[in-house]
Amino acid sequence: PLIEGLQGRVGDADWLRGPHIIATAKHFLGDGGTLGGKDQGDTQVSEADLRRLFAAPYIPAIEAGVQSIMVSFSSWNGVKMHGHRPLLRGVVKDRWGFDGLLVGDWNGHGQVPGCTPDNCRQTFIAGLDMAMAPDSWKGLWTNTLAQAKDGSLPMAVLDDAVRRILRVKLRAGLFEAARPSQRPYAGRFDLLGSADHRAVARQAVRESLVLLKNAGSVLPLKPGARILVAGDGADNLTMQTGGWTLTWQGTGTTRADFPNGQTIAEAMAAEAKAAGGSVTHSADGSFTERPDVAVVVYGETPYAEFQGDRTDVGFDDTGEHLALLRRLKAAGIPTISVFLSGRPLWVNPQLNASDAFVAAWLPGSEGGGVADMLFGKADFTGKLPYSWPRESDDTALNTGDKNYDPLFAYGYGLTLKDKGELAPLPETRATPSQTERDTLFAAGRAGAGKRLLVGAPGALAAGPGDDRITARGADRAAQEDSVQLRWSGRGEAVAAIVAEPPLDLATGGAARALLLDLRVDTPPSSDVSLSIRCGAGCSGSIAITPQLRAAARGQWTQLSVPLACIVKPGTPLGAIDTPLSIGTAGTLGITLSGARIVAAAEGAACPQ
């Protein structure tokens, strides 16, 4: 139905015409089964399991007329999909008879052995028809043309790729279609966020929410109740919409980017007023008038592929929501958790501290759909599309897996009529690895249990920044695997990695160092400090201005600073809440690709 909704039905007069567009099935093949769930990793399964678990959906997709199949970054048993001739040409084209086009993913061809992003005839020989080369296309075009001329790229391979691309374009009527501004729905911006479309989206939210706990039937909310709405996700459309929303990772957006959207807090206030009650919105959960019930909205910050990789399935509660839930519960205030996430995560402590717990996933622009369910305008019908982990290191989470024992099984979901009590759960999380503890920033985001915050001293926040400092995704070895930080010189500003819980470096901390992988884009115009903080009244700082000015502009370099150079001897290092902070009042531009705590080199000198 999805493919036919996008393309139309094969044989109909409007197939691929009028309001319809070309659909793409992806990512071929085994992208969701890589070892350890690693993005762009290796799916190590037998051919029988590859066919049974991952290839099955492609057959009905091809039968429905899908015109494009995107090839995965991943490998199967060590062989990159972008270079896997037996699967691309042998299975998809020859055995399945697919006559559309095979398109690559973002420079994925460059990962084939012997290839680079701008030179890879191997991928076309394997069966790829169209390479996705966003920043390498000129070199790829030059090299591919030369290889076609010298015969190292067979003409039959080139003809097959060109024939398939032209066939799809002809089917879609692109050669006789009017210019885009004259096609159906061109200029109909009134349809974006229209009432009809939002009604469908709101219905989808209502039907997708899964009720995991409802002790004492705290839900639905009672008419006339005084409701406290708290948490960093309550009034946050960036968290509601998640990755692949306006930007790749879904980060850097503001409320102004969603003029037709509604946050959960906004929707709760409207629904409470209509029911004769009231809402007090307080992100940190503070209040002056005691509420009858508290709704705490929290969860994951936005992510997409690559940056969404995790070492375990435990939720990193960097916003102290668990402490808030426990504080409210201790005060005798019923607590309702609304959990925003793109996947099930181990949240045993939060489940214990909540009277009701709703897996709200990513409700997008329609916070009203969440409010509808909390106020009982409809009963919960959503069921888990994935099993919910019992432990933070659970990996056997698919039905049929050996030792399958989730906390909530696939298909679980309460209704308001069900008994919603849940026995107390163990709260001990699997011990994070040393590497995880010492990683402050990698792969475009802060390490586990840490956040990247920017802003004026004392007013740091997540997000793109303000007029003093901005933080934007940048590319080094992969798409947005780094962050570009720019200080405007309009006042003192800081970029900091904060840790929750604080890092314990009491043992051996003085013999360790901060190692930064960075690029200086704009040399500093004023003094720049590198600092760490270890609790109230405990901090240390050192100037790194000379090192940044001496660095070759636009070139990647490393800056290593022993912790002993930053803090005074005897400083307690058992509770470092800010392991990295860079601040200046002047102009500065750096791109950070990595930050970690490492063993200091023997005899390492302090920056001068």
Annotated active-site residue in 105, 129, 266, 317: 105
Alpha carbons within 13 angstroms on the beta-carbon side of residue 323 total: 8
- Cβ(198)–Cβ(267) below 8 Å: no
- Cβ(592)–Cβ(517) below 8 Å: yes
Question: What residues contact residue 196 under an 8 Å CB cut-off, 6+ apart?
Answer: none
SS3 588: strand
Q: Give dist(CA 251, CA 431) in Å, integer.
A: 29
- Cβ(493)–Cβ(583) below 8 Å: yes
Q: Give dist(CA 511, CA 513) in Å, integer.
A: 7
Q: Residue 584 has which token pair? A: 């200046």
Q: Residue 491 has which token pair? A: 């006042």
Q: Residue 336 has which token pair? A: 């309702």
Q: Give dist(CA 450, CA 528) in Å, integer.
A: 23
Name the E strands within 29-169: 42-43, 68-71, 75-76, 79-80, 101-103
Polymer length of the chain: 608
Q: Give dist(CA 487, CA 454) in Å, integer.
A: 10
Omega within 30 of 0 (cis) for the link into 460: no
Q: Residue 156 has which token pair? A: 């039959």
Cα separation of the two ends of the chain? 66
Q: Is 305 a catalytic residue?
A: yes
Annotated active-site residue in 266, 305, 355, 577: 305
Long-range residue pairs from 54-62, CB within 8 A, at least 24 positions apart, any chain: 54/29, 54/30, 55/29, 55/91, 57/25, 58/25, 58/28, 58/29, 58/92, 58/96, 59/96, 61/3, 61/25, 62/25, 62/96, 62/97, 62/98
The β-bridge relationship of strands 587-599 and 439-442 is antiparallel
Task: Tell me which residue of 284, 157, 166 sits closest to 231, measured CA to CA.
Answer: 284
Specify the residue for token string 């001293």: 457
Name the E strands within 78-177: 79-80, 101-103
Q: Is 480 a catalytic residue?
A: no
Q: How many CB atoms lie within 10 A of CB 449?
A: 19
SS3 203: helix
Q: Give dist(CA 535, CA 577) in Å, integer.
A: 6
Torsion of CA 282, 285, 288, 291, to 10 degrees: 100
Q: Give dist(CA 464, CA 481) in Å, integer.
A: 16
- Cβ(60)–Cβ(19) below 8 Å: no
SS3 content of the chain, % helix, strand, coil (to 5): 25, 25, 50
Q: How many CB atoms lie within 10 A of CB 148?
A: 16
Which of the 8 DSSP states describes residue 532?
E
Q: Which residues pair with 25 in a beta bridge?
A: 69
- Cβ(510)–Cβ(570) below 8 Å: no
Question: What residues act catalytically?
Answer: 105, 305
